Amino acid sequence: MNLLHKNTNVHFTSIGKGNAVVLIHGFLENSAMWQEVAKELSKRNRVVCIDLLGHGQTGNLGYIHSMEDQANMVKAVLNHLRLRKYIFVGHSMGGYVALSFAKLFPESVKGLCLMNSTALPDSGEKKISRDRAIKAVKQNHKTFVRIAIPMLFSEKNRDIFTNEIAQITNEALQMSTQGIVAALEGMKIRKKQTAIYKTANFPIQMIIGKKDPALDYDTAITQTKNTKVKIIEFPDGHMSHLENKKELIEALTSFIKACN
């Protein structure tokens, strides 16, 4: 399905019936990453998957897609579907978008699962790394994509998931340079959102890959100290929907029940 938001085409899917669960993909991904997870969750829930700005079949809105821009676009889709309350699952950058959404529209959120994601902003070092990435993308976005995707998996899984890596890479290669740069710029300026861990009146769950090359394990654990955030750990990398698929579906199923 498609929706026009600020003169930009937005692509989304909605399957199943019941409580609304919104799945938000990460950087260089699209809503297709959720295919198998959505199929399972839609047996008891209404599952909405949305292509973020500049990703998949959704167009670009500008030269920077802030997390708030993304959250407002997600809200437009959910309003279009006449949904009022929902549970979010955000993968990586999708988690940043879900956090921004929860800050902008807290009354609409019934639960928030950060999957291989964080409520912390980019460190100074990470911002420098983003600037390097932006430069590399402008020079040759295809080379950047081919290098970036395998690095999301734990080292041992890069050989095991070669077919999946090839598929994700091929899909990411369809993205425009503008879409990739706008996301990197948006992530670079995102705000600290850890206050939500103490102020939220809905359940929050964090899924962490112990060998996630994109996120530091200790930092992920430390940010939730003395909060009610439920932490679930998997043994592998950043791509839990592939590397730990069975365990992820079980964890999400039980989290959704806890939110209702």
Residue 37: the pLDDT is: 98
Residue 231: the pLDDT is: 97
Classify residue 222 as exposed, middle or buried by CB count within 10 Å of its CB (0-12, 13-18, 19+): exposed
Least Cα distance to 95 among 74, 77, 81, 79 occurs for 74
Positive or negative, the CA dihedral 179, 121, 32, 44 is negative
Residue 82: the pLDDT is: 98
- What are the per-10-residue average pLDDT scores of the chain (260 residues)? 97 98 98 98 98 98 97 98 98 98 98 98 97 98 98 97 98 98 98 97 98 95 95 98 98 97
Where do the structural domains in the chain lie, given as residue ranges? Answer: 2-259
Domain 2-259 carries which CATH code? Answer: 3.40.50.1820
Residue 157: the pLDDT is: 98
Classify residue 243 as exposed, middle or buried by CB count within 10 Å of its CB (0-12, 13-18, 19+): buried
Residue 207: the pLDDT is: 98
Residue 32: the pLDDT is: 98
pTM attached to this predicted model: 0.98
Residue 113: the pLDDT is: 98
Residue 25: the pLDDT is: 98
Classify residue 44 as exposed, middle or buried by CB count within 10 Å of its CB (0-12, 13-18, 19+): middle
The whole-angstrom separation of Cα 192 and Cα 118 is: 9
Residue 8: the pLDDT is: 97
